[in-house]
Amino acid sequence: MILEGEDSGCFIDPSPVAMGSGFHDTASMRVVLIPGDGIGPEVTHATRQVVAAAGVHIDWVVAPAGADCVASYGDPLPEYTLDLIRKHRVALKGPCTTPVGKGFRSINVRLRKGLDLYASVRPIVSLPGVKVPFSNVDLIVVRENTEGLYAGLEHSPVPGVVESLRVITRPAAERIVRFAFELARRHGRRRVSFCHKADVLRLSDGLFLNAARQVADEYPFIDFEERRIDNLCMELVLDPCNFDVLVMENLFGDVISDLCAGLVGGLGLAPGANIGARHAVFEAVHGSAPDIAGQGLANPIALVRSAAMMLDHIGQTAVAQRIEASVRRTLEAGAGLTRDLGGTGNTRTITDALIRNLEPAR
Ligand code: NAI
């Protein structure tokens, strides 16, 4: 493990979609690791074990963030951590707690804004052995990560009244929709659905919708459809197999991500990535799960799969695929599964199963 060192020479493709590109220096791969808080340290520890067993050597540069950092650093997201990600460009992050209605601002929102990680990418795919109503789900939620109601612009003009600004800018709207189309193009996807509430939020979502229509014109070979967000929720629950790539603003994307995670087996399985032009931070969709923290019960699969996305991003595609295959085998076999998956196991037993089910490298 590394606490700090010289640059590894890693490289993130500065094109609008950096997925699938990345490191060229495979001899020494340094990735920032933020254990986070709550179940974060437990699932990051398990994930490191699986990544190591998969046969790739990552020099983890451990960086602090989380509620516990307030006491030691005076800040839940020390500038030092942001600097490490700026330097090494890629990070794997455990969840971090945000106090409700008081205390510090969301670490996640600060991180995404501070590094301009404008695109949240959350693949939602049916997995074997998981008992859910649908077995052929294969969609990607692309969420704008820096604006909307999460811009954090709230104030109280008079006592008893609070205003939260919902910020939508044309450049940010265009770049997230273009990101979604580029993702669709690169992955051979056929349709991009833009999700909005422009009938009510006429100015903000009206601007976003116009930007989406304009960008869609650049991709005549990919279908484009417009979906009202309330209708989308109903359609997703009725039949998620009808959807391909979904793109939307920040708050809608936050809610839809959890909904979609539920459709394929829950938060313990759903991976994610936050991508910018220069940096990328990979993390599970789930939070710090304070109700089970410290008990060894957390399911690490969502973070393990986020790590697989990270490995793919830095050019370690074969390793990423082996980890994904192990996840599938583990779920199918059903031994050692955690309680959220209907099993009686714990973090240790499921991690052992993931390692056992890794195919040897060729
Ligand atoms: P949560 O995702 O932490 O938990 C929701 C439910 O899912 C809980 O019952 C929990 O036990 C279960 N769960 C979540 N992940 C699991 C896992 N890996 N294995 C087994 N069960 C799991 O959402 P909640 O309770 O709304 O948020 C808790 C804290 O996490 C809050 O402070 C919130 O702000 C923060 N949060 C942080 C995120 C991040 O760092 N990216 C994302 C979402 C929430």
Residue 31: closest CA among 53, 56, 55, 68? 56
Is ligand 1 within 6 A of the CB of residue 298? yes
Residue 28 has pLDDT above 80, yes or no: no
Q: What is the pLDDT of residues 190-245, one digit of tens each?
A: 999 999 999 999 999 999 999 999 999 999 999 999 999 999 999 999 999 999 99
What count of Cα atoms within 13 Å lies in the side-chain half-sphere of residue 237? 8
Residue 147: closest CA among 105, 107, 178, 116? 116
Distance (Å) from CA 40 to ligand 1 centroid: 10
Distance (Å) from CA 290 to ligand 1 centroid: 7
Residue 2 has pLDDT above 60, yes or no: no
pLDDT (0 to 100) of residue 56: 94
Q: Is the dihedral of CA 259, 109, 100, 165 positive or negative?
A: negative
Distance (Å) from CA 160 to ligand 1 centroid: 30
Residue 336: closest CA among 348, 325, 326, 324? 348
| Nearest ligand 1 atom, CA 299 | 19
For residues 195 and 229, is the Cβ–Cβ distance under 8 A? yes
pLDDT (0 to 100) of residue 327: 98
Nearest protein Cα to ligand 1, atom 5: 289
Is ligand 1 within 6 A of the CB of residue 302? yes
Core vs surface per residue 270-280: b (16+ CB within 10 A) or e: bbbbbbbbbbb
Nearest protein Cα to ligand 1, atom 27: 287
Nearest protein Cα to ligand 1, atom 12: 289
Per-residue pLDDT band at 11 (split at 50, 70, 90): very low
Q: Which domains does the chain have, with CATH numbers?
A: 1-126+264-362 (3.40.718.10), 148-249 (3.30.420)
Nearest protein Cα to ligand 1, atom 40: 95
Residues with a known catalytic role: 150, 197, 230, 254
Is ligand 1 within 6 A of the CB of residue 301? no
pLDDT (0 to 100) of residue 101: 76
Output the pTM of the full model.
0.92
The first and second tokens of residue 194, run together, are: 């833009």
Is ligand 1 within 6 A of the CB of residue 182? no
Q: Are strands 29-34 and 90-93 parallel, antiparallel or unpaired?
A: parallel
Q: Is the dihedral of CA 47, 48, 49, 51 positive or negative?
A: positive
